[in-house]
Structure 1
Amino acid sequence: MYQHILVPTDGSDITAQAVLAATTLARTLGAKLTTISVKEPFPYSAISEMQPVPPQEFYDAQERIAAARVKVVTDAAAAAGVPCTAFTVEAVHAWEAIVDLAKDKGCDLIVMASHGRRGVSALLLGSETQKVLTHCKIPVLVVK
């Protein structure tokens, strides 16, 4: 049925439920997993001297956070005996990075949480999950 499942992670509790569902499904089907955590780009401003955090420090922190998030998924997959590849990607819009990675890696299913909202923009623009559902051409299993 499904051979390659993508499971995005933002480190939230609801995402942990999606990871459990994805690893269980992958183990049952003999599929492999890919996981992604999307890093936010540096918030550049016109007055660079006013930045509270230097760019490299910001990038390093974002990478540490993203790497820790995907490690949780790879550890869960390893415990379940499921092969898993992890990616951390910088993107303005997480949904675009998720859809692009699914296409680039040949995933045939995305398993993701019903809401991993980020800030006020999630209220104004809708959830990343909704955008993946709208723009993705492969099946998406939404875990609530």
Structure 2
Amino acid sequence: MLDKCKASADDAGVSATLVHVEDKRPAEAILELSRAQGRDLIVMASHGRRRLGRLLLGSQTAEVLSYTEIPVLVVR
């Protein structure tokens, strides 16, 4: 799965580094890595739901938004 993502990034001319973190919740791993690597932006996806669901983000995205000092770009 990660190799496909890397290939898509390469095809689009985007520099990407693959990271797989085991035994951590995704939000926890994202927060720890972004701080440790000195990142200045986190990009995450939302579910893109309609109506009432539009107000809700994925639980991992919501958690990252709640606990980071780094700007987060949410895309759908």
Query: Would you say same fold, with TM above 0.5?
Result: yes
Aligned residue for 2:24?
A: 92
Matched, 1:71 2:8: no
Distance 1:78 1:101 in 2: 22
Aligned residues: 66
**Alignment partner, residue 45 of structure 2:** 113
Larger radius of gyration: 1
The percentage of counterpart residues that share the same residue type is 47
Structure 2 length-normalised TM: 0.75
* Letter of the structure 2 residue corresponding to residue 143 of structure 1: V
Q: Which residue of 2 aligns with 1:137?
A: 69
Q: Tell me, which stretches of 5 or more residues in structure 1 are unaligned? A: 1-67, 116-125
Higher strand share: 1
Runs of 4+ in 1 over 6 A off after TM superposition: none
**Cα distance in 2 between the residues matched to 1:143 and 1:82:** 17
- TM-score (structure 1 length as normaliser): 0.42
In the TM superposition, what is the alpha-carbon distance from 1:128 to its structure 2 partner?
0.5
